Amino acid sequence: MPRAEFHHVETWVFDLDNTLYPPQMRLFDQIERRMTDWVMTRLNVSRDRADHLRRHYWALYGTTLAGLMHEHAIEPGDYLAAVHDIDFSALTPDPDLAAAIAALPGRRIVYTNADTPYAHKVLAARGLSGLFDAVYGVEHAGYRPKPQREAFETVFAQDGLTPTRAAMFEDDARNLAAPHAIGLRTVHVAPAAEPAPHIHHHTSDLAAFLWPLARR
Ligand SMILES: [Mg+2]
């Protein structure tokens, strides 16, 4: 039981996609399809080439958007609106997760590589609206994405959180390296564990993990 390892935590930082909803809801499949479509149209390449570039930029730059901005100087607002224009009906409310998050002692924030208009739609579809003190998107880091350390530092400075008194919950293990390096407690939220020195805890059930950390 990790409760003692979280008693110092006063700010709880949550990733959004595949963290505040399970990957089985497959919302990201829709976004990836729109990313590929966007790359096909804007760069005038085949579907196979667009799919390759989407993955390649994600691996190399942290997000497809960061690669498109770096290598093609694209304007991020248009891209973000297009790829996030999806059907949210795959998401269902999660009252148990909402109650567990509401019971955490301290500030609760969301930090996503998507943008905040999209983040608010996801939170609404999951029944998690109003539970967070702040929601930060890639626009708050000047479109520099996680896992870059400067992105975390920019967002955390805006929030005013103390890294050594915060915990980060994330499904992408890459995105826990910088938080670990600057002092956050790290929790990998994913179906399978990927043990690494920068991951303190793993859970496949976020609500079950949070309940023992609730207000006492
Ligand atoms: Mg995620």
202 with 113, same domain: the answer is yes
- Give residue 2 CA to ligand 1 midpoint distance, Å: 22
- Give residue 15 CA to ligand 1 midpoint distance, Å: 6
| pTM, 2 dp | 0.95
- Give residue 201 CA to ligand 1 midpoint distance, Å: 16
Query: DSSP states of 141-158 as a string?
Result: GTTPPTTSHHHHHHHHHH
* Phi, psi (rounded to 5 degrees) for 4: -65, -25
Tokens of 113: 């590589």
2 in Cβ contact with 8 (< 8 Å): no
113 with 42, same domain: the answer is no
10 with 112, same domain: the answer is yes
153 with 183, same domain: the answer is yes
- Give residue 17 CA to ligand 1 midpoint distance, Å: 4
Taking the C-alpha atoms of residue 174 and residue 94, their distance in angstroms, rounded to an integer, is 26
50 with 129, same domain: the answer is no
pLDDT at 3: 83
Among 48, 88, 56, 95, residue whose Cα is nearest residue 72: 56
Low-confidence ranges of the chain (pLDDT < 50): none
- Give residue 169 CA to ligand 1 midpoint distance, Å: 9
44 with 59, same domain: the answer is yes
113 with 7, same domain: the answer is yes
Range of the domain at 132: 3-21+92-213
- Give residue 189 CA to ligand 1 midpoint distance, Å: 9
8 with 67, same domain: the answer is no
Tally of structural domains, the chain: 2
130 with 62, same domain: the answer is no
pLDDT at 179: 98
- Give residue 203 CA to ligand 1 midpoint distance, Å: 14
- Identify the burial level of 1 via C-beta atoms within 10 angstroms of its C-beta, where 0-12 means exposed, 13-18 middle and 19 or more buried: exposed
CATH number for position 55: 1.10.150
SS3 207: helix
108 with 208, same domain: the answer is yes
CATH number for position 126: 3.40.50.1000
pLDDT at 216: 61
